[in-house]
Homo-oligomer: A and B are copies of this chain.
Amino acid sequence: MNELSRQAVAIAAKIPQPACSQCNLQELCLPVGLTTAELSTIDHLVSERRKIARGDALFRSGERFTAIYAVKLGFFKTEVLSEDGRHQVTNFYMAGEVLGMDGISAESHHCDAIALEDSEVCLIPFQQLESISIKVPTLQRHLHRVMSREIVRDQGMMMMLGAMRAEERVVAFLLNLSQRYTARGYAAADFNLRMTREEIGSYLGLKLETVSRAFSHLQEDGLVQVEKKHIRLVDTTKLKKMLSQESTAR
Contact among B82, B134, B204 with A2 in the assembled complex (CB-CB below 8 Å):
B82
CA distance A141 to B147 in the complex (A): 13
Binary interface profile of A, 146-157, with partner B (CB < 8 Å = 1, else 0)? 111111101101
Let me know if A249 is at the binding interface, CB within 8 A: yes
By the criterion CB–CB under 8 Å, are A141 and B145 in contact? no
By the criterion CB–CB under 8 Å, are B5 and A82 in contact? yes
- A151: chain B residues at CB < 8 Å are 101-102, 104-105, 147, 150-151, 154
- A84: chain B residues at CB < 8 Å are 2, 244-246
Query: What is the count of identical protomers in the complex?
Result: 2
Let me know if A226 is at the binding interface, CB within 8 A: no
By the criterion CB–CB under 8 Å, are B110 and A152 in contact? yes
Closest Cβ neighbor of A210 among chain B residues: B250
Let me know if A55 is at the binding interface, CB within 8 A: no
Residues of A80-115 contacting chain B, CB below 8 A: 80-84, 86, 88, 90-91, 101-106, 110-111
By the criterion CB–CB under 8 Å, are B162 and A204 in contact? yes
CB distance from A56 to the nearest CB of B (A): 21
- A178: chain B residues at CB < 8 Å are none
Closest Cβ neighbor of A245 among chain B residues: B84
Closest Cβ neighbor of A161 among chain B residues: B161
Let me know if A144 is at the binding interface, CB within 8 A: yes
CA distance A91 to B205 in the complex (A): 19
- A106: chain B residues at CB < 8 Å are 148, 152
